[in-house]
Chain A
Amino acid sequence: MNMTTFLFYFFEVVAAASSIALIFIRNVFYGALLLISCLLALAGIYVLAFAEFIAVTQIMVYAGGILVVIIFGIMLTTKISGKPLVVEHTYLFSGALAGLSLLGLFIFYISKEPFDTNPISSSTGINSLNTIGIGLMTDFALPFEVAAILLLVALIGAAIIASSTKTKKM
């Protein structure tokens, strides 16, 4: 067993474990931390799938940006009481039903499908970063621009939504 295989399985196990644990966790904060670990493991898997740029982007954007914002949200939406935030489960049966049946379906289809299971042996020298940069400017210029506009809109929208402070007495 060489190092890559071990790393791959390691990252896989971490990702799987943390996602399963996320189902059962009660503490929201711990849940966020679990998600971070899952995302980082996923980034590692991306690297082993020859997608370095995506891996880095994942770490930077997801784990560094979004999760931090989420933690900020957690802090802002809990009542200051000193106790850790514990949430209960709801619709457990329904959720399990849907999830497990979907999992079963996926496993069924994946096992049936004769994929071409020949991965490329090794990196064939693609500098993914370079290629992604060029692609962004040439082939994917339109999605790039649209994504830029989307980011702008999202930014302004989030700012506006979160700024007004009307409270309603329930």
Chain B
Amino acid sequence: MVSFIISEKYSWIVSFLAPFLLLINALSAGIVFYYTWNNQPLAIEWTWFPVGGTSMKTGIYIDNISALMLVVVTLISFLVNLYSVGYMAGDRDIKRYFAMLGFFTFSMLGVVVADNLLIIFIFWELVGFSSYMLIGHWNEKPEAADAAKRAFILNRIGDAGFLIGLMIIWSNTGNFNIAELRSVTTMAPWQTAASLGIFCGIIGKSAQFPLFAWLPDAMEGPTPVSALIHAATMVAAGVFLLARVHFLFTPAALDVVAITGCLTALMGSLAAIAQYDLKKILAYSTISQLGLMVTALGAAAPEAAMLHLFTHAFFKACLFLAAGSVIHTLHQAQHQSHTTFDVQDIRNLGGLRSKLPYTFLIFVLSGSALAGIPLFSGFLSKDAILTSLLAWPGDGFSWRWLIFVGVIITSFLTVLYTFRMIWSVFAGPEKSTTQLTVAEAPAIMRAPMTVLAAASIWLIVSWNPFDFSGWIYSGLFAGMPSHSHLISIFSTVWILGALGVAYTLRERTFHSPLLLNGFYLNRVYKEFVETPVLQVTQLTEQLDKKWIDGLLHFSAYMQLIVAHVTGWFDRAIIDGVVDDAASMAKGVGSFIRTFQSGKIQLYIFWAAFAIIIFIIWTLL
């Protein structure tokens, strides 16, 4: 099930080996899926190491959700690997690329199958690390290294919150095991704090507000990397985790989750409208879709979120791969004709429908799924979300209706930007590509895209194009109120109306520096976070220099003084005693020496003195 192989340094063999292994991976995942779907969850546990009195356990727990994710992750990883063989052909660091791709798959699968929050956290970190390596793959570009660093740091900030949440859980229940945590009744009032802590990690990993600024910048990495990481798997890891520990969240925490998700969705889609870079449009779109998933989770509908995750993985990965094929082919054409223009800027592109018809078809298929046009999978999953949002507020009017409205607006904007993207790349007059002879992408790149595009049709969800409670949905959760016809009719009308609006606006360009720069979030970080931190460091440096060094100086002086005192003591008293003893000996000696001085009168004196003493002593 979990395979991790770091490729040996044979570059030609790597391109063959990695996808092959991942194919095996995917097949085995499929087998697991078959066995555990709608059956008892598979749980294996063994002890890892003892700490103090308790022992940390690690293990594997596969229930429906993780089985689903297993399939998604391995399948998309395999397809991306296949695609990368064509995309990254001739790249210098291809060995490292495939090694990191394999490592990423390994850590993602670890997140999916672990039964233990601590193990999830470990693999979470590994996912973050491997994404850092992959984003900064072309590390000779400073923007790439910068983007990778930013991704990792923002991820880390979220993980700090995650760790706090973990600690709260541990101190309250002493257990990390997810299955056992399910039976924990309550840990109020810490439960809200713990769940918010875990949500912090999810904010970082799944690019919610305010930590989403890394995702657009992460487009510096190779496009297959973007497909794998940012469309399908890594950012979905957050959503997956939230679905896993959904039972832990209190209603108050769920409200926070929902608000955050809605905000993210709105901001993402607003920003996507104003972008010029092809991949950045897709990046902001990912942010917005993730916001939708998180909103669904906040509305206490993890099933809807998982469904959207499933469909989004396929159509977004397909979109990324298609965009990658456009970029790739245009690069090849550039090399041949020796012109340079930014192939990712959609203002330079246009009218590629005639030159890249296959890619155009793929784009239309997956883009429709993204936009939520009926007859596609995206429509169904969005429907699920809308339905659950409708059921969420209960009776009466509450602020939750605003969330509902927000989601509706987001879906409108989604149609807008998707249409704009496709139109400006493929339709209309050709701009800069008129002189180029552009060939279609090689077959090895087209095959994965075809598979993924096929998965964007409604058939993958359910037989009825208008009913989302297909096999996935009822497999994930039984007892959900069935879909509302109202919603499906409403959303169909809404989407078609948005399509019409987009068509009429197709030539209008949309200027907004605010949206273009992602709400200037990076600047915000710099102003409000970086400068105070630098000031704090300077302050502590001053503190250290003055006080701690001062303390050291002081203690050195004290030592010096003590040394002087002891020196004086030694000289005056101890030496004094010794000197006095010596001088006393000298005095006594020189006194006694006078007995032998040779002076007669002294002799006579001493004789008389002796006699006197004798008389006094004996006769008195």
Residues on A close to B: CB < 8 A?
90-91, 94-95, 97-98, 101-102, 105, 109
Contact = CB atoms under 8 A, between A and B. Distances in A.
B602 A91 contact: yes
A91 B609 CA distance: 13
Contact of B605 (A95, A105, A109): A95
A101 B601 contact: no
A105 B612 contact: yes
B309 to A, nearest CB: 120
Nearest to A102: B612
Query: Which of A90, A97, A98, A101: most chain B Cβ within 10 A?
Result: A98
B616 interface: yes
Contacts of B592: none
Interface string B476-513: 00000000000000000000000000000000000000
8 closest A-B pairs by beta carbon, nearest first, are A98-B608, A94-B605, A101-B612, A98-B609, A102-B612, A98-B605, A105-B615, A91-B601
Contacts of A101: 612
A98 B614 CA distance: 13
Query: Size class of B's contact patch?
Result: under 10
Interface string B583-603: 000000000000000000110
A168 to B, nearest CB: 16
Nearest to A104: B612
B616 A91 contact: no
A95 B615 CA distance: 17
Contact of A97 (B601, B609, B615, B616): B609
A105 B616 contact: yes
Contacts of B619: 109
A28 to B, nearest CB: 16
A121 to B, nearest CB: 34
Interface of B: 601-602, 605, 608-609, 612, 615-616, 619
B612 to A, nearest CB: 5
A90 B612 CA distance: 20
A91 B606 CA distance: 11
A102 B609 CA distance: 9
B597 to A, nearest CB: 11
A109 B608 CA distance: 17
B612 A98 contact: yes
B612 A91 contact: no
Contacts of A105: 612, 615-616
A149 to B, nearest CB: 28
B568 to A, nearest CB: 39
A9 to B, nearest CB: 29
A128 B609 CA distance: 39
9 contacts: A91-B601, A91-B602, A94-B602, A95-B601, A95-B605, A97-B609, A98-B608, A105-B616, A109-B619
Nearest to B609: A98
A109 B609 CA distance: 17
A99 to B, nearest CB: 8
A162 B52 CA distance: 114
Given A95-B601, A102-B608, A102-B612, 17 more contacts: A90-B601, A91-B601, A91-B602, A91-B605, A94-B602, A94-B609, A95-B605, A97-B609, A98-B605, A98-B608, A98-B609, A98-B612, A101-B612, A105-B612, A105-B615, A105-B616, A109-B619
A154 to B, nearest CB: 21
Nearest to A99: B608
A109 B602 CA distance: 27
B606 to A, nearest CB: 9
Contacts of A90: 601
Contacts of A97: 609
A90 B601 CA distance: 9
Nearest to A97: B609
A70 B619 CA distance: 38
Contacts of A102: 608, 612
A88 to B, nearest CB: 12
Contacts of B601: 90-91, 95
Contacts of A91: 601-602, 605
Nearest to A109: B619
A134 B608 CA distance: 38
B508 to A, nearest CB: 132
Contacts of A94: 602, 605, 609
A147 B612 CA distance: 31
B619 to A, nearest CB: 8
